[in-house]
Amino acid sequence: MKRLATTCLIIPLLFMFFHTSVMAEESTTDILKERKALYEKMEAVTQIPWNIFAGADSYERGIRKGRNDRPQEDGAIAIYFSPEEWAGEINPNKEDTDPLSIQLFGGKGVDGNGDGISDRKNDEDILMTFASHLQKYGTEDEDLKIGLWEYYQRDKAVDFILGHAKIYKTLDSLDTDKYAFPVPTNRNYSYKNTWGDSRGWGGRRIHEGTDIFADQGTPVYATTYGIVELVGWNKYGGWRIGIRDTNNVYHYFAHLSRYEEDMDRGKMVEPGEVIGYVGSTGYGPKGTQGKFPSHLHYGMYRDNGYIEWSFDPFPNLKRWEKQS
Ligand SMILES: [Zn+2]
């Protein structure tokens, strides 16, 4: 009798759990579709390509995760304007929504959806305000680059945004939520959480990553969709490759024995794609190898719009390993 009661209790609970997780999945897809539709609508009106809106939006969504001076976005769009930027520095009403007085006080906010108000929290008004800036420079690729630089005043912002834009255009989708463990899980490998340990070579540095020990020549996979940002030698990391994903997160792979062909700066990669092979390079001048057992050093770095810092990749590695 007691068992029956427990079963009766568990089944509805399981159903509820299943139901909520399906709903959560649906709503993520819905948000991505809603965002893409918004970008496309704005492209039709402004001639700014939809994937440029998408790139800037995900750049700003990524930097919000790394700082606490910006509130959570209200709608589907993460591009941010402070009240002063929107209404104008000298506007006595920082929450002004009147397009005319905003213009009078030199604010940026415009009306994008034609309802006669410039609402700092309305997605279409935000995108149109952003587009108004870019339109001053033009809509060709080179113009957009200049417009983005003038807007963010940061080389990395332009690079990240154009990288994200390339990924979204190639996929014709905003869905980049796919990951891979960096080495084949059917091969020999081992790793433990070594993030933050002190390390022996090159002075006092902490270990900014996880070491995955594997045989020399084991393929190394890209873990996310991303753009190759760095390829080359460094006396610590040996042959390295760095990949930037659509959350602005930088994925760093070091000590490779060699690269996969065509791993040049600017190339787009996808999760599970072979980018290189495990080795033991580094800790000396170009070509040095064999000073330690072969392993992949894998690091992750977040960017907040100003600086980058390392965070522990171990929990992600555990998750991706389980999913593969
Ligand atoms: Zn390492």
Measured in angstroms, how far is the CA atom of residue 176 from the centroid of ligand 1? Answer: 27
Measured in angstroms, how far is the CA atom of residue 213 from the centroid of ligand 1? Answer: 10
Least confident of 70-79, 203-212, 237-246, 302-311: 203-212
For 241-254, what is the mean pLDDT? 98
Q: Identity (one letter) of the amino acid at 100?
A: L
Copy the structure tokens of residue 148: 């983005």
pLDDT at 74 (0 to 100): 86
pLDDT at 21 (0 to 100): 52
Copy the structure tokens of residue 246: 């659509």
Fill in the DSSP letter of residue 296.
E
Measured in angstroms, how far is the CA atom of residue 260 from the centroid of ligand 1? Answer: 21
Measured in angstroms, how far is the CA atom of residue 209 from the centroid of ligand 1? Answer: 6
Measured in angstroms, how far is the CA atom of residue 246 from the centroid of ligand 1? Answer: 24
Helix axes 141-152, 50-64, angle to 10 degrees: 20
pLDDT at 26 (0 to 100): 57
Q: Which tops the pLDDT comparison, 251 or 68?
A: 251
Pick from 74, 253, 57, 76: nearest CA to 157: 57
Does residue 8 have a pLDDT over 90? no
Measured in angstroms, how far is the CA atom of residue 199 from the centroid of ligand 1? Answer: 9
Helix axes 50-64, 155-171, angle to 10 degrees: 120
Measured in angstroms, how far is the CA atom of residue 240 from the centroid of ligand 1? Answer: 12
Least confident of 7-16, 55-64, 199-208, 303-312: 7-16
Measured in angstroms, how far is the CA atom of residue 194 from the centroid of ligand 1? Answer: 8
| % pLDDT > 90, the chain | 83
pLDDT at 1 (0 to 100): 45
Residue 201 confidence class, pLDDT cut points 50, 70, 90: low
Pick from 193, 219, 134: nearest CA to 316: 193
Does residue 24 have a pLDDT over 90? no
CB 81 within 8 A of CB 109: yes
Measured in angstroms, how far is the CA atom of residue 229 from the centroid of ligand 1? Answer: 20
Measured in angstroms, how far is the CA atom of residue 160 from the centroid of ligand 1? Answer: 25
Measured in angstroms, how far is the CA atom of residue 179 from the centroid of ligand 1? Answer: 21
Q: Identity (one letter) of the amino acid at 227?
A: I
Q: Which tops the pLDDT comparison, 20 or 172?
A: 172
pLDDT at 76 (0 to 100): 94
Measured in angstroms, how far is the CA atom of residue 154 from the centroid of ligand 1? Answer: 30
Measured in angstroms, how far is the CA atom of residue 310 from the centroid of ligand 1? Answer: 13
Q: How many CB atoms lie within 10 A of CB 96?
A: 22
Measured in angstroms, how far is the CA atom of residue 250 from the centroid of ligand 1? Answer: 16
For 50-75, what is the mean pLDDT? 92
Does residue 32 have a pLDDT over 90? yes
Give the Cα separation of 29 and 317 in Å (integer).
24
Does residue 103 have a pLDDT over 70? yes
Measured in angstroms, how far is the CA atom of residue 305 from the centroid of ligand 1? Answer: 26
Least confident of 12-16, 67-71, 262-266: 12-16
Spatial neighbors of 252 by CB under 8 A, at least 6 apart, are 209, 237, 240, 241, 242, 297, 298, 299, 300, 301
- Rg (Cα) of the chain, in Å, rounded? 24
Tell me which H or E stretch contains 310.
strand 308-311
Does residue 18 have a pLDDT over 60? no
Does residue 20 have a pLDDT over 80? no
Measured in angstroms, how far is the CA atom of residue 295 from the centroid of ligand 1? Answer: 8
Q: For 283-322, how does the pLDDT look when each residue is reduced to its tens digit (9 = 90+)? A: 999 999 999 999 999 999 999 999 999 999 999 999 999 9
Domain-by-domain residue ranges, the chain? Answer: 29-171, 189-323
Measured in angstroms, how far is the CA atom of residue 210 from the centroid of ligand 1? Answer: 6
Does residue 216 have a pLDDT over 70? yes
Strand partners, 239: 233, 256
Q: Give the mean pLDDT of the chain.
A: 92
Q: Identity (one letter) of the amino acid at 190?
A: S
Q: Which tops the pLDDT comparison, 92 or 23?
A: 92
CB 50 within 8 A of CB 41: no
CB 298 within 8 A of CB 210: yes
Q: How many CB atoms lie within 10 A of CB 226?
A: 27
Pick from 52, 33, 32: nearest CA to 42: 52
| % pLDDT > 70, the chain | 90
Tell me which H or E stretch contains 129.
helix 123-135
pTM across the whole model: 0.89
Q: Which tops the pLDDT comparison, 126 or 204?
A: 126
Does residue 183 have a pLDDT over 70? yes
Measured in angstroms, how far is the CA atom of residue 204 from the centroid of ligand 1? Answer: 14
pLDDT at 56 (0 to 100): 98
Q: Which of the following CATH numbers is that of domain 189-323: 2.60.40.420, 2.70.70.10, 3.40.50.10420, 3.40.50.300? A: 2.70.70.10
CB 213 within 8 A of CB 295: yes
Taking the alpha carbons of 105, 106, 109, 111 in that order, is the dihedral positive or negative?
Answer: positive
Phi-psi region of 17 (alpha: psi -120 to 50; beta: other; left: phi over 0): alpha
Measured in angstroms, how far is the CA atom of residue 85 from the centroid of ligand 1? Answer: 43
For 82-102, what is the mean pLDDT? 97
Copy the structure tokens of residue 214: 């594997």
Give the Cα separation of 300 and 62 in Å (integer).
14
Give the Cα separation of 206 and 15 in Å (integer).
46
pLDDT at 27 (0 to 100): 83
Measured in angstroms, how far is the CA atom of residue 288 from the centroid of ligand 1? Answer: 16
Measured in angstroms, how far is the CA atom of residue 302 from the centroid of ligand 1? Answer: 18
Measured in angstroms, how far is the CA atom of residue 7 from the centroid of ligand 1? Answer: 48
Measured in angstroms, how far is the CA atom of residue 157 from the centroid of ligand 1? Answer: 28
